[in-house]
Structures are given as C-alpha cells and as structure tokens.
Amino acid sequence: KNEVEQSPQNLTAQEGEFITINCSYSVGISALHWLQQHPGGGIVSLFMLSSGKKKHGRLIATINIQEKHSSLHITASHPRDSAVYICAVRIQGAQKLVFGQGTRLTINP
C-alpha cells in the first residue's frame, strides 16, 4: 500500500463546479504539499501545509493531522484548471518527499 493515496484518480467536471481532491497518508509528516502539473510536465507548488487551512484565489487546501487527511478544493472551476494535482508529504525527520499518484482533473466548458 502506498504511503500517500489520492482520490479520485480521474475527475471530469463542468465549468463552474466545486471540485474536491482528497489525500490520505499513513506516516508521520512535517508538511504536506499540493502540486499542479500541466500537460507540458512542469510542476508548480500550490500549497505547503502543516496544519489548518490555506487559501489562494479559488484554491483552498485543508489538512487534518489527527486523521492524516488533506483536501484540495477548487471553487468556480475553469477549463484552465485542467491538470494533474499531486499530493506529497515530507516525512518527519526526513528531507525527501513522498508523492501520491496524482489526480487528473478535466474541466469541460
């Protein structure tokens, strides 16, 4: 079983819908990252969380340390939000990240 599990693996929605992507992990962490990967392959860091909630524009990320769970929400989704969203955790005491397999989001106009 992977240390980081994301759901769903694929998500297709209509423009304007509220989107939720989930991430569960099974190890102790010092931080959790949400990343966005566009078709060209480059990755952009969206959020780094160690507790609570962060908001940037239409994106909201939450984390529940006790439940070892994080969610990424997108409000008023737009076709340009179409990308692969990746959850990654920094294991406590370690430098490296462990990645989920990603969620492929497609927003149709």
User: Pick from 21, 29, 35, 89: which binds another protein (CB under 8 A)?
Assistant: 35
On whether the CB atoms of residues 62 and 55 are closer than 8 A, the answer is no
Residue pair 5/23 in contact by the 8 Å Cβ criterion: yes
Q: Which one among 1, 57, 95, 109 touches another protein, defined by CB under 8 A?
A: 95
Rounded to a whole number of angstroms, the distance between the first and last alpha carbons of the chain is 36
Q: Is 43 in the site for another protein (CB under 8 A)?
A: yes
Residues that bind another protein (CB under 8 A): 2, 4, 33, 35, 40-45, 48, 86, 88, 95-97, 99-102
